[in-house]
Amino acid sequence: MLHELLNAYDDYKTVLKDGINEVHTTLFFSKSPAPRKHWMVMPETCVLIANKFGVILHCLSIEGCVTCFPLWKGPEHFEQHKIITIAHVYGNHYVMVQLEGEYPMRCIVAYWLHHRAPSAVAWQNMYMKRLESYKQLNPSNGTLFHTKTKSLIPSQELRATD
């Protein structure tokens, strides 16, 4: 993951802004157990994981749940794509969980909405039915919780474009 960050550092700095230093600190460590300052920060690290591995990543936690698509490549760049879901447990670990069927997809991470490449919009279009399904279940009616600013982004900003 550190290699991914360093190879596109300027691009990630534009996306993550001040959060890039924290992400770099968490990744620049390889011993076990890692002290708290080297634990993954989410949703920032979600962006790197989605881009590096070409996956859709759901991150579930009490602080806020998000979906992250690859930022700079659309589905046509991947022969197959995979959806991965991780859940934050015990306040200090992420574990992979398996979601079954056509489950509703949680809101898209704000970083993706604001910095996606035009070809990446195809991810949102591909999963719009499931994203809309979540908005119908969600009492905030489709607003996106931005974990850094603790603010809500109105649902009209979630609309896909051509």
Q: What is the pLDDT of residue 140?
A: 61
Mean pLDDT of successive 10-residue segments in the chain (162 residues)? 89 89 84 82 88 93 89 90 91 89 89 92 93 79 46 44 40
User: What's the pTM value of the predicted model, to 2 decimals?
Assistant: 0.78
Could you identify the residue written with the tokens 């990543």? 57
Provide the 10 A C-beta neighbour count for residue 14: 12
Q: What is the pLDDT of residue 139?
A: 58
Sign of dihedral through CA atoms 127, 47, 83, 145?
negative
Helix axes 9-16, 19-27, angle to 10 degrees: 130
Gyration radius from the chain CA atoms: 15
Q: Which residues contact 149 (CB under 8 A, 6 or more apart)?
A: none
Q: What is the pLDDT of residue 148?
A: 47
Q: What is the pLDDT of residue 37?
A: 79
Q: What is the pLDDT of residue 93?
A: 84
Alpha carbon 153 to chain centroid distance? 15
